[in-house]
Structure 1
Amino acid sequence: MAFSSFIARSSLQTARSIARAPCSRPAQLYTARAFTTSWSHSKQATSPASTSVSTSSNDIKPASSETGGSNEEPKGLYANFLRGLAMVTGHYTVGQTAMRSTHNFYEICAAQLQQKRSLWIDTCGLPDNFQTWFSVTHLHVWLLMVRIRAEKNGKVFQQQLVNHFFHDIEDRMRYNHKISSGRIITTYMHDFLAQFHGGVLAYDEGMCKDDPIMAAALWRNLFTSHGNPAQIALLVDYIRHELQVLDNISSEDFLESRNLFGTQAPALRGVPGK
């Protein structure tokens, strides 16, 4: 870790002269809302399917319909009946709300490699394979986790987002890559989980400290100890920019958003792994 940090620190300043959108502000100016909670708690909520979601009456609340817009909320007895039915069936529980919001979040994260191939494959020189898809998706999942931490019941939303990620990893191995052995899938899932935890902690450290630390985290987790300083500097600036954009979104707009990182949430997938 010390060696990679030294390389990143010595090369990053020079590389910025040829990278886009130089990052001149200290890390503390980014994600001000996220810093209201400690980044160190993130690992507690990142193990897929490791916590149960409470559905007690205290968790039942209306979905955030205060977000304005041209569509008025339905009125009258029929609307009241629908709202009451939704409350009874658990549609407004914290867990159900988290599942709906984080489904859109995850679909956006999972589409980043294909949506921005020119950045990840052409400019950054990453190989076009499953590991790259995992690493790019992981990076964007982490970006959203940082923003989610500031929300009420943020741990529940984090857990649901991570669950979507690991369910999709398994689906892709089974349906896209035709891996049928449960033992092999389990081995891969343990490896990806270890990568996930290590990446979250490394990116958190980079966010809370400085750009060379973030560059070292990218060099280890995304570039797998490859890549040149200009490519790494470009992605450090990309991360700082996206964190700032996320921090400027209100809670209501964020949880209802279907467009993040410049990507529209795709429709529900009808075939697992697609």
Structure 2
Amino acid sequence: QAQRGRMLHGTFQRKKTGRSQLTEVFSELIQTTGAAKWPSRTLHSTNKLFTAKDSLQPSEEKVGAFTKIIEAMGFTGPLKYSKWKIKIAALRMYSCCVERTDYEEFFNRCQMPDTLNSWFLVAHLHVWMCLVRMKQEGRAGKYMCRYIVHSMWEDVEQRGKVMGIDSVALKEGMKSMTENFYAAIFGYDEGILSDDHVLAAALWRNLFNRHCEDPGQLELVVEYVRKQMQYLDTLPGEDLLLSGEVTWRPLVETNAQSILKPPPTTYNDEGL
């Protein structure tokens, strides 16, 4: 490492008065990548290198010393809204992921088998999109994310029991699902902040389980994720925290201009 450091130091000393060759190479690569296109659609690319201080990160709420202490111990401090209201909204939001999604259309267009695992992969994709949206709402949103995931695992376990899956097999299956769930989250997060190549690769590994050979199917789901994330960003954070109501755009959009901001959700003082 010392030898390599001396070599780099000497290189930068020789180039300190002019533009380095490495910078020129990177500039050419960025220009080339930005011009890349799919055969049927323009490639979405992100040339900016995001850092932890960029605006994509939710703004940190100012909390007192006592709140910081109890949260460091694993507890949740006071939130902007009632915790039990947020829990109810989290359950509603998860219900929207599993009840308002056209699984049959996903299975047919993406050629996925009609199994519990395929259902989980599609539901997981929608849960992840909700998690990304709610994390933008500060501490209350992160608190809600915990109960969305909690509701998902309870639902998966109950569905497995109703289907008559053996308890041992169900336990092993849920263990595998848990590992795939957290691995997929990292892939999807990287894909949504990168270009369509990275997002398509994450969907191919996780949603399609590496069994997709039709690029048209990948392109369809990439477009679906992009428009859903854009649509979720139009929903007011307060409504999501108190109601949890989410509607989903169709997999195949008949009218792309129909993605409009929906009317505000109404709810009473109890959050119902």
| Pairwise TM-score range, normalised by the shorter structure | 0.5 to 0.7
Cα 1:53–1:105 change in 2 (3 A) is: farther
Q: Which residue of 2 aligns with 1:253?
A: 239
Using structure 2 for the length normalisation, give the TM-score.
Answer: 0.64
Q: Per-residue deviation at 1:259?
A: 3.5
Q: For residue 121 of structure 1, report the CA deviation from its aligned partner.
A: 1.8
Equivalent AA in structure 1 for residue 85 of structure 2: T
Equivalent residue for 2:38?
13
Aligned to 2:97: 109
Q: Is the 8 A contact 1:121 1:127 kept in 2?
A: yes
TM-aligned CA deviation for residue 252 of structure 1: 1.7
Q: Which runs of 5+ in 1 are unaligned?
A: 1-10, 39-50, 64-91, 264-274
Asked which structure has the greater RCO (Cα within 8 Å, sep 6+), the reply is: 1
Count residues in correspondence: 194
Residue-by-residue CA offset, 1:12-61 (whole Å, 9 max, x unaligned): 813xx2xxxx56654589xxx982249xxxxxxxxxxxx9663x6x34x6
The match for 2:146 is 159
> How far apart in 2 are the matches of 1:245 and 1:34?
19
1:172 aligns with 2:159: yes
Contact 1:12 1:212 in 2 (8 A): no
The one of 222, 230, 239 equivalent to 1:236 is 222
Say whether residues 1:36 and 2:62 are aligned partners: no
2:38 maps to a residue whose letter is Q
Percent identical across equivalent pairs?
A: 29
Aligned to 1:124: 110
Structure 2: gaps (5+ residues): 1-35, 49-53, 60-72, 251-272
Partner of 1:140: 126
Residues 12 and 229 in structure 1, CA contact (< 8 A), matched pair in contact too: no
Larger Rg: 2
Q: Note the aligned Cα RMSD (angstroms).
A: 2.8
Q: What CA distance in whole angstroms lies between the structure 1 residues aligned with 2:170 and 2:219?
A: 35
3-state DSSP of counterpart to 1:258: coil
What CA distance in whole angstroms lies between the structure 2 residues aligned with 1:151 and 1:110? 23
Give the equivalent residue in structure 2 for 1:97: 85
Q: What is the 5 A alignment of 1:213-228?
A: 213-227=198-212, 228=214
Letter in 2 for 1:136: V
